[in-house]
């Protein structure tokens, strides 16, 4: 080997030196670096695991919020629907009450008109009776006593009601 320019002694010393440097570097550099790297790997794995758990919690929280939000929207929709129905019912009740009130007013007006009609007819009867009595007195030139006046008046009213009352009613209607 010396012919090649290699000295075995130097090669052994170099191998031995290399092994010593390797063992020293291994003990003081590689093993601590490996421990640091392993600890860092564990720390990163722990952080990744924590982040995944937090992500799952956030997803669960998000789903819970979405569920609550859907519930709130559904409740709002139900409340609005109930209030719409209640408003419709109130409108219907108010319309019904207005109809009943209008009917009461119409009925009262009919009764008042009928009463006024009766009053008018009674007034007309009395006026006609007074005119008839006055005309009869002037025609006969005598004064009738009260009994005769009543009897004459009753006959006249019957005749007026049977003949003229229908014509008057037709004219007013």
Return the C-alpha torsion angle 99, 102, 107, 109, nearest 10.
-170
The domain in which residue 42 lies consists of 2-172
Tokens of residue 36, six digits: 């640091």
pLDDT confidence of residue 25 = 87
Average pLDDT over residues 29-51: 92
Both tokens assigned to 167: 């014509």
User: What pTM value is reported for the model?
Assistant: 0.41
Domain count, the chain: 1
Q: What size, in residues, is the chain?
A: 173
pLDDT digits (tens, 9 = 90+) for 97-153: 999 999 999 999 999 999 998 888 888 878 877 777 777 777 765 666 778 777 877
- How far is 23 from 114, CA to CA, in rounded Å? 132
């Amino acid at each position: 080997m010396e012919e090649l320019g290699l000295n075995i002694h130097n090669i052994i010393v170099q191998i031995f030196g290399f092994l010593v440097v390797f063992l020293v570097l291994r003990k003081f550099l590689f093993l601590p670096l490996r421990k640091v790297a392993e600890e860092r790997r564990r720390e990163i794995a722990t952080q990744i695991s924590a982040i995944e758990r937090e992500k799952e919690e956030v997803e669960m929280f998000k789903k819970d919020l979405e569920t609550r939000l859907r519930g709130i929207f559904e409740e709002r929709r139900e409340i609005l629907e109930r209030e719409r129905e209640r408003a419709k019912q109130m409108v219907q009740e108010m319309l019904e009450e207005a109809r009943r009130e209008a009917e009461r007013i119409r009925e009262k007006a009919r009764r008042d008109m009928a009463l006024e009609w009766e009053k008018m007819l009674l007034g007309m009867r009395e006026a006609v009776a007074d005119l008839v009595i006055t005309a009869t007195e002037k025609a006969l030139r005598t004064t009738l006593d009260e009994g005769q006046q009543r009897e004459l008046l009753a006959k006249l009213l019957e005749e007026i009601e049977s003949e003229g009352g229908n014509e008057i009613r037709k004219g007013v209607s």
